[in-house]
Amino acid sequence: MNQEGSDFLALSKISLDDVDKKILNAIQIDFPLVHKPFEELGKNLGLEEEDVIRRIQRLQKEGAIRRIGPIISTKKSGGMGTLVAMKVQPEKVDEVAAIINEYEEVSHNYLRPANFNVWFTVSAQSEERLNEILEELKEKTGCELRNLPTKRLFKIGVKFNIK
């Protein structure tokens, strides 16, 4: 479970040299979609492929990089996605989060300071599968949830300029 802002605080404690910063800036938007992407990154940054891989592994271990992966439009690929808010007793948050995280269709979740305090996104191959997941989560957790499907999509690109 991620507390909002904790990622920023963790990143502020990581020691980054100029090469680390160049790598972080490069992989945010223009990650090469080629057979050997780390070799391509190395060429673009004047580094060896092995050095890029080693540095990225260290940055992942230290928390500067959580994940490297694509952002896929569920709707364009024929699936369905939604945001879910769940009302969870504070003492059951970890237990419920573990149940939520059992589903590969859940990409991430957050703890929020509100009545509906656990929020997460679900992307499934069909509306039927999406509804099945939500029903299972209600049954397994015993918690009230709200399905908050997208009414209008606003895509905000975020790129951190790491200096």
Of 13, 34, 62, which closes a domain? Answer: 62
Contact 49, 36 (CB under 8 A): yes
94 and 145, same domain (yes or no) = yes
What's the total number of domains in the chain? 2
Count CB neighbours of 47 within 10 A: 19
Query: Residue 64 carries which DSSP code?
Result: S
CA atoms 9, 11, 14, 15: torsion sign: negative
Contact 43, 108 (CB under 8 A): no
Return the CATH number at 90: 3.30.70.3460
| Paired sense of beta strands 2-3 and 106-111, if any | parallel
Residue-level pLDDT, tens digit, the chain, 163 residues: 444 444 444 445 788 999 999 999 999 888 899 999 999 999 999 999 999 999 999 999 988 887 787 766 677 777 788 999 999 999 999 999 999 999 999 987 889 999 999 999 999 999 999 999 999 999 999 999 999 987 776 665 566 677 7
Return the CATH number at 54: 1.10.10
- Residue at 30 is within a domain: yes
